Amino acid sequence: MKEETTGVFFDGESAIPQEVVLVFDSTKDVLAFETNNGQQHCWELNDVTFEVKSKKMYLEYGKDPIQNIKITDSDFIGKISIFWKNRGNQSWYQKLMDMGIKAHIGFTVFIFVIIGLGYFYAIPWVGEKAVIIIPEEYDAHLGTTFFAENILFNNIDVEKTKALNLFAKELNLKNTKKLKFTVLDSPIVNAFALPDGNIVVYRGILKTMKNYDELVGLIGHEVAHVNNRHSMKMLCRNLSGYLFVSTILGDANGVMATIGDNVNSLQSLSFSRNFEHEADVQGFEIVVLNKINPKGMSNLFKRLQDEEKGVVNIPEFLSSHPVTTERIKDVNEMIKMKPFKFEENLKLKKLFLEIKN
Amino acid sequence: MEETVQAKTDYQLEFSGKGSEFFSVIIVNWLLTVLTLGFYYPWAKARKLQFLYGETSLNGDSFSFHGTGKEMFKGFIKALLIIGFLYGLFFLFIYLKSPFMGIGILYLGVLALLPFAIHGSYRYRMSRTSWRGIRFGYRGDRKEFSLNFFKWLLLTICTFGIYGSWMSINMRNYILGNIRFGDVEFNSDGDGGDYFMLNLKGYFLSIFTLGIYLFWWQKDLFEYYINNLSMSKDDKEIALNSTVTGGDFFKLAVVNILIIIGTLGIGYAWVVTRTMKYIFDNIELEGNIDLNLLSQTEDNYKDATGEDIGDFLNLDFVM
């Protein structure tokens, strides 16, 4: 193939445009032309880079100075592009670019699918597995630090704390870690478990309880969190979720990153709901193991739900332990399905009154 | 081609990139970045810049960005090591139970990196930008710039931020004043006082108008940057002039937001291209420098470390 066209040549030393007649010879693999000063140029095609920008073709040749030719002849540009493609010199990047808008929309969908799968399957899995390699001492360290920070603004009720610890001692909690209970003198209706085995109970939640079996239900639930290292799993999940978002959306724009971030926190909420469910199921087992009436657990939940409707200072509890009708239903279901036997435990009853008074 | 005229010359600055083309660039970049677990990022950035520069033209000839993914990857690794080293020190001090020392070192370290990042970023970016094969260049002196930077920063802290206006204008003047386009020199002669008043006015009017004035404030700033910028060669000059309006900025922003929301972010490519188009359509160049007579004066500079540190620190380009 031999083609001829005109182009504008820049010598890389100045910006003076020189109109030149180009001869493209595919049999010899060269591009030949003559500049105004009579000099003959012969560019080896393999050393020339071709690029189409704003419908014009730009050819570049040489290292220092870099010489350029601009071609505006669309006919010629088309022929060269086809020739270049046929020779297989087209980069794989260019091939991807040339696949057209439909394929690119396909890529977009593909990426969204990957994101979705990553979110719902890979991230929770990685989070869970990561926990195994983190030593338990780290749980202890994390819990102690958090405990020290949180207790700062609250008064510990020494008497009740003592009684609650005695209460827990009476129970078989299947715990792998040493547990330590603390009662805080605050009207907040909440309780939480720290990864080091510290379980913090606010006076507010104790006040809402009517019977000791409710307290056993609460303890069972919180102990299950500790036994399963839920806090650490949550932390790992959030961290891997964050890494995932920043890897996938790092090159995208702010809007996408924001959307991704929100999906991350939503997904992490649902993950925490799974943990709540798991803690409910295992808490139930602990209650049954201790021959306590599991009805207490569902009673406690019902009370908390009523509390949520009336009182204002519960949002904390709401956000981390949403007491939904669903959870109450699940517990009631377990009461119906699973066999249990319970007997009155006078010691616990006495201690409960001390804690509650 | 253009005639060599000594009197007034016309210059056309234009951005002709199409949203659909930029979309393809972004999506292919995104795909490759995801498939390589993020390692493609420097190449993706190079592709993006190549597209945006390539679609920008002056008098019908495109600009080129010659930076490559490989250069930026090397810079990326170096930047990673430097930032990683700082974080290493930070965690070492946390481990040694002196967290304040750790935080102090981290903050001071990042602060100390800033002028290097800005300097390196300009040197790299400019040296890899060309038009008709004529390279741009940044001739600022790293030591001089860093010393100035810290002096200005200290003044800003001592004046509780008031000097900030002077700092940003001084920095602009220094950086832009050291940019070369072949043998054409850029000049920027903003004044910190004017800039301060402009921002003061913008701030209060925006509050009084419940934010509506924001677009006019933006217009004032853009105008101030552009109108104070000029190019010179010997006794000849090109002056830049902005023709943007607050109303247009407002329309641009509203439509951009609608596009982003309506397409869940996929329309980002169109947002960028229409914004670029508006900006370049509204910069007028006027003067008597004959662009045909530009000559190559700037070296090649291939170290992208500054550019990548800037990326890590999320620095936006000043210009």
For an interface test with A, give the residue of B22, B25, B27, B233 to mutate (most A CBs within 10 A): B27
| Contact flag B31-A56 (C-beta cutoff 8 Å) | no
| Contact flag A16-B64 (C-beta cutoff 8 Å) | no
Q: Indicate if the pLDDT at residue A258 is higher than 70.
A: no
Q: Indicate if the pLDDT at residue B83 is higher than 90.
A: no
What is residue B222's predicted lDDT score, i.e. its pLDDT? Answer: 94
Which residues on chain B are in Cβ contact (under 8 Å) with A107? Answer: 27-28, 30-31
Distance from CA of A337 to the nearest CA of B (A): 46
State how far the Cα of B179 lies from the Cα of B295, in Å rounded to an integer.
15
- CB-closest option in A8, A53, A107 to B62: A53
Q: Indicate if the pLDDT at residue A319 is higher than 60.
A: no
- CB-closest option in B29, B34, B44 to A248: B34
What is residue B95's predicted lDDT score, i.e. its pLDDT? Answer: 77
**Count of Cβ atoms closer than 10 Å to residue A113 Cβ:** 10
| Contact flag B28-A93 (C-beta cutoff 8 Å) | yes
Question: Comparing A99-108, B2-11, B130-139, which segment has the lowest mean pLDDT?
Answer: B2-11
Among chain A residues, the shortest Cα distance to B53 is held by A53
Residue of B176, B287, B187 lying closest to B238 (CA atoms): B287
Distance from CA of B41 to the nearest CA of A (A): 7
CB B27 within 8 A of CB A107: yes
pLDDT confidence of A244, banded at 50, 70, 90? Answer: confident
Mean pLDDT of the residues in chain B = 88
Distance from CA of A114 to the nearest CA of B (A): 9
State how far the Cα of A185 lies from the Cα of A156, in Å rounded to an integer.
6
Q: What tokens appear for B111 in the block? A: 């602060």
Which residues on chain A are in Cβ contact (under 8 Å) with B32? Answer: 96
The predicted model gives A78-102 an average pLDDT of: 82
The predicted model gives B10-38 an average pLDDT of: 88
Sheet holding A198-202, edge to edge: A180-184, A198-202, A191-193
The predicted model gives B227-240 an average pLDDT of: 92
Q: Indicate if the pLDDT at residue A320 is higher than 50.
A: no
Q: Indicate if the pLDDT at residue B116 is higher than 80.
A: yes
What is residue A354's predicted lDDT score, i.e. its pLDDT? Answer: 87
Per the DSSP assignment, residues forming a β-bridge with B10 are B286
Residues in A whose CB is inside 8 Å of some CB of B read 8, 10-17, 19, 51, 53-54, 56, 58, 64-68, 70, 93, 96-97, 101, 104, 107-108, 110-111, 114, 247-248, 250-253, 255-256, 259
Q: Indicate if the pLDDT at residue B284 is higher than 90.
A: yes
What is residue A274's predicted lDDT score, i.e. its pLDDT? Answer: 80
State how far the Cα of B217 lies from the Cα of B207, in Å rounded to an integer.
11
The predicted model gives A256-278 an average pLDDT of: 66
| Contact flag B55-A54 (C-beta cutoff 8 Å) | yes
The predicted model gives B177-198 an average pLDDT of: 93
Q: Indicate if the pLDDT at residue B3 is higher than 60.
A: no
Task: Establish if B134 touches chain A: CB-CB under 8 angstroms.
Answer: yes
* All structural domains of chain A: 2-98 (2.30.29.30), 131-356 (no CATH)
Output B146 or B35, whichever has higher pLDDT. B146
**Count of Cβ atoms closer than 10 Å to residue A270 Cβ:** 10
State how far the Cα of B167 lies from the Cα of B172, in Å rounded to an integer.
9
Q: Indicate if the pLDDT at residue A112 is higher than 90.
A: no
Output A263 or A75, whichever has higher pLDDT. A75
| Contact flag A108-B294 (C-beta cutoff 8 Å) | no
Question: Comparing A200-204, B173-177, B224-228, B239-243, which segment has the lowest mean pLDDT?
Answer: A200-204
Q: Indicate if the pLDDT at residue B18 is higher than 60.
A: yes
For an interface test with A, give the residue of B3, B20, B21, B31 to mutate (most A CBs within 10 A): B31
Q: Indicate if the pLDDT at residue A270 is higher than 80.
A: no
Q: What is the pLDDT of residues A11-59, one digit of tens each?
A: 888 888 899 998 888 788 888 888 888 888 888 888 888 888 878 899 8
pLDDT confidence of A97, banded at 50, 70, 90? Answer: confident
Q: Indicate if the pLDDT at residue A236 is higher than 60.
A: yes
- Sign of torsion, CA B191 B197 B198 B203? positive
pTM above 0.80, yes or no: no
Q: Indicate if the pLDDT at residue A87 is higher than 70.
A: yes
Q: Indicate if the pLDDT at residue B48 is higher than 60.
A: yes
Which residues on chain B are in Cβ contact (under 8 Å) with A17? Answer: 1-2, 132, 292
pLDDT confidence of A315, banded at 50, 70, 90? Answer: very low
- CB-closest option in B31, B260, B294 to A14: B294
Q: Indicate if the pLDDT at residue A318 is higher than 90.
A: no
pLDDT confidence of B316, banded at 50, 70, 90? Answer: low
Which residues on chain B are in Cβ contact (under 8 Å) with A66? Answer: 66, 130, 133
Interface of B with A in 232-291 (CB under 8 A): 260, 264-266, 268, 291
Q: Indicate if the pLDDT at residue A93 is higher than 50.
A: yes
What is residue A83's predicted lDDT score, i.e. its pLDDT? Answer: 82
What is residue A189's predicted lDDT score, i.e. its pLDDT? Answer: 81
Helix (H, G, I), strand (E, B) or coil at A229: coil
Mean pLDDT of the residues in chain A = 81
What is residue A139's predicted lDDT score, i.e. its pLDDT? Answer: 78
Among chain A residues, the shortest Cα distance to B64 is held by A53
CA distances from A5 to A25, A31, A59, A79 (A): 12, 11, 13, 11
Q: What tokens appear for B31 in the block? A: 């795909």
Interface of B with A in 145-204 (CB under 8 A): 182
pLDDT confidence of A127, banded at 50, 70, 90? Answer: confident
ipTM above 0.85, yes or no: no
What is residue B99's predicted lDDT score, i.e. its pLDDT? Answer: 74
State how far the Cα of B136 lies from the Cα of A92, in Å rounded to an integer.
30
What is residue A265's predicted lDDT score, i.e. its pLDDT? Answer: 61
What is residue A267's predicted lDDT score, i.e. its pLDDT? Answer: 57
- CB-closest option in B29, B62, B182 to A15: B182
Output A262 or B84, whichever has higher pLDDT. B84
Q: Indicate if the pLDDT at residue B148 is higher than 60.
A: yes
The predicted model gives B291-296 an average pLDDT of: 87
The predicted model gives B20-40 an average pLDDT of: 87
Q: Indicate if the pLDDT at residue A324 is higher than 80.
A: no
Which residues on chain B are in Cβ contact (under 8 Å) with A68? Answer: 132-133
pLDDT confidence of B255, banded at 50, 70, 90? Answer: very high
Distance from CA of B113 to the nearest CA of A (A): 22
| pLDDT > 90: percent of chain B | 51
The predicted model gives A81-109 an average pLDDT of: 83
What is residue B200's predicted lDDT score, i.e. its pLDDT? Answer: 93
Q: If 0-12 CB within 10 Å is exposed, 13-18 middle and 19+ buried, where does residue A124 land? A: buried
pLDDT confidence of B318, banded at 50, 70, 90? Answer: very low
The predicted model gives B9-28 an average pLDDT of: 90
- CB-closest option in A104, A248, A255 to B260: A255
Task: Establish if B132 touches chain A: CB-CB under 8 angstroms.
Answer: yes
CA distances from B18 to A84, A211, B62, B249, B250 (A): 24, 71, 15, 20, 22
Distance from CA of B73 to the nearest CA of A (A): 15
**Count of Cβ atoms closer than 10 Å to residue B267 Cβ:** 19
The predicted model gives A169-196 an average pLDDT of: 86
Output B176 or A328, whichever has higher pLDDT. B176
CB contacts < 8 Å between A and B, how many? 108
Q: Indicate if the pLDDT at residue B13 is higher than 80.
A: yes
Q: A320-325 — which CB contacts under 8 Å span 24+ positions?
A: A320/A192, A320/A272, A321/A190, A321/A276, A322/A273, A322/A276
Can you state the percent helix, strand and coil of chain B, rounding each to 5?
A: 60, 15, 25
Which residues on chain A are in Cβ contact (under 8 Å) with B64? Answer: 58
Among chain B residues, the shortest Cα distance to A13 is held by B296
For an interface test with B, give the residue of A20, A51, A54 to mutate (most B CBs within 10 A): A54
| Contact flag A13-B296 (C-beta cutoff 8 Å) | yes
State how far the Cα of B198 lies from the Cα of B195, in Å rounded to an integer.
5
State how far the Cα of B233 lies from the Cα of B291, in Å rounded to an integer.
10
| Contact flag B33-A250 (C-beta cutoff 8 Å) | yes
Q: Indicate if the pLDDT at residue A5 is higher than 70.
A: yes
Distance from CA of A68 to the nearest CA of B (A): 7
Q: Indicate if the pLDDT at residue B201 is higher than 60.
A: yes
Which residues on chain B are in Cβ contact (under 8 Å) with A65? Answer: 133, 296
Q: Indicate if the pLDDT at residue A124 is higher than 90.
A: no
Among chain A residues, the shortest Cα distance to B298 is held by A13
Distance from CA of A225 to the nearest CA of B (A): 28
Q: Indicate if the pLDDT at residue B247 is higher than 90.
A: yes
DSSP B211-261: TTTHHHHHHHHHHHHHHTEEEEETTEEEEEEE---HHHHHHHHHHHHHHHH
